[in-house]
Amino acid sequence: MSHNTFGHLFRVTTWGESHGPALGCVVDGCPPGIRFTQAEIQAWMDKRKPGQSRFVTQRREDDVVKVLSGVMMDEDGETMISTGTPISMLIENTDQRSKDYGEIARRYRPGHADYTYDVKYGIRDYRGGGRSSARETAARVAAGALARKVVPGLNVRAALIQIGKHRINRDNWDWEQVGQNPFFSPDAAIVPVWEEYLDSIRKAGSSIGAVVEVVAEGVPAGLGAPIYGKLDQDIAGLLMSINAVKGVEIGDGFAAAELSGEENADEMRMGNEGKPIFLSNHAGGILGGISTGEAVVARFAIKPTSSILSERHSIDADGNNVEVRTKGRHDPCVGIRAVPIGEAMVACAVADHYLRHRAQTGRTL
């Protein structure tokens, strides 16, 4: 299985399976002199880890990150300093229950990657989906924690803005709320609605889709390269690489199709500090593939979890028609845990373009 690496200069390779002993990543290209602590990485991991509320999978994983290489410890005994060599990070799998998956060893779960992995490789690690499991995304979050450190002043945040048909009221948007409810919702008013709704989905053994919005502030103007190295192109690609993502938008996205040119134009005025002020941000902070200095805004749609308790028609590896129902521990709405994953992918894209800009132009923004 090739293609386990993304990024050009901030280059991330992830490895490992859901039910193997461990998984992790190697970040090659992290500049020397980046200072970080294990606790800082762990804080992002803790946002993604399972078992934190009744609305996500009850798999119990501590997701403790061990940094194996590429750093020197500072005198304080806590701060690691990157040396410019590959940074390898390891996360042990501690709560695998492979027997949960025995029944799907030869049966293809509709909506999952079982059939396509078999048809492509002729062999498949069916325990938890192996490499197709979103457990792999733990390694991306670890890499994203480093990426955030590479770009000075970068602040990447994300929030869940829709579950099923229930959308937040954007007028209520408050970033402070995101850390205060089990959904990463920026709108406190929607929380009881989502709770009741997801409880009914969970009790029925069903699942539902969601939309996540990622906002990156502190992205300097000038990152991204026309025409095949666009910042929005790379962000879209990395968000689309997250398990279960079926749609990505930048800025106004598909809604831009309904706007007139007048409405869509992000008008400019000269600001006091010699930099322009944009009067709106329909573009989501990117024009011509290059960042404007405004917030970079991306959204992605997540499909409902394929693991559901009700029987669905499928086939098995021997070509028989079968009925499949997935037992085991699953997220009724994987969009919740996708929030920190989306942040990590955008952080990695911005860090990569930051280093690429410096490499090509010799200039620091």
Ligand X SMILES: Cc1cc2nc3c(=O)[nH]c(=O)nc-3n(C[C@H](O)[C@H](O)[C@H](O)COP(=O)(O)O)c2cc1C
Using CB under 6 A, list all residues that contact ligand X: 57, 112-113, 129, 132-134, 242-244, 303, 305-307, 330-331, 334, 337-338, 341
Q: Is 69 annotated as a binding residue?
A: no
Of 6 and 278, the one with the shorter C-beta distance to ligand X is 6
CB of 334 to ligand X, least distance (A): 4
Question: Do residues 207 and 309 lie in contact, with contact meaning Cβ atoms separated by under 8 Å?
Answer: no
Of 283 and 341, the one with the shorter C-beta distance to ligand X is 341
Of 56 and 297, the one with the shorter C-beta distance to ligand X is 56
Q: Which residues pair with 297 in a beta bridge?
A: 215
CB of 326 to ligand X, least distance (A): 7
Measured distance CA(141)–CA(161) in Å, rounded: 20
- Other C-beta atoms closer than 10 Å to the C-beta of 302 total 28
Question: Do residues 110 and 306 lie in contact, with contact meaning Cβ atoms separated by under 8 Å?
Answer: yes
Measured distance CA(332)–CA(70) in Å, rounded: 38
Measured distance CA(282)–CA(232) in Å, rounded: 13
Of 29 and 110, the one with the shorter C-beta distance to ligand X is 110
Q: Is 288 annotated as a binding residue?
A: yes
Of 121 and 277, the one with the shorter C-beta distance to ligand X is 121
Q: Is 133 annotated as a binding residue?
A: yes
CB of 13 to ligand X, least distance (A): 19
For 82-109, give the DSSP string: E-SS-EEEEEE-----GGGGGGGSSBPP
Q: Is 230 annotated as a binding residue?
A: no
Residue spans of beta strands (DSSP E) within the chain: 5-6, 11-16, 22-28, 35-37, 65-67, 71-73, 79-82, 87-92, 155-163, 166-167, 210-217, 245-250, 268-270, 276-278, 286-287, 290-291, 296-302, 312-315, 321-324
CB of 46 to ligand X, least distance (A): 14
Residue spans of beta strands (DSSP E) within 56-179: 65-67, 71-73, 79-82, 87-92, 155-163, 166-167
CB of 54 to ligand X, least distance (A): 15
Q: Is 307 annotated as a binding residue?
A: yes
Of 177 and 307, the one with the shorter C-beta distance to ligand X is 307
Measured distance CA(18)–CA(138) in Å, rounded: 10
User: Which DSSP symbol is given to 134?
Assistant: G
CB of 337 to ligand X, least distance (A): 4
Q: Is 229 annotated as a binding residue?
A: no
Of 198 and 223, the one with the shorter C-beta distance to ligand X is 198
Q: Is 54 annotated as a binding residue?
A: yes
Amino acid type, 244:
A
Q: Is 244 annotated as a binding residue?
A: yes
**Helix (H), strand (E) counts: the chain:** 8, 19
CB of 357 to ligand X, least distance (A): 30
- Other C-beta atoms closer than 10 Å to the C-beta of 22 total 14
Output the known binding site: 48, 54, 131-133, 243-244, 288, 303-307, 329
Output the known binding site for NADP(+): 48, 54
Output the known binding site for FMN: 131-133, 243-244, 288, 303-307, 329
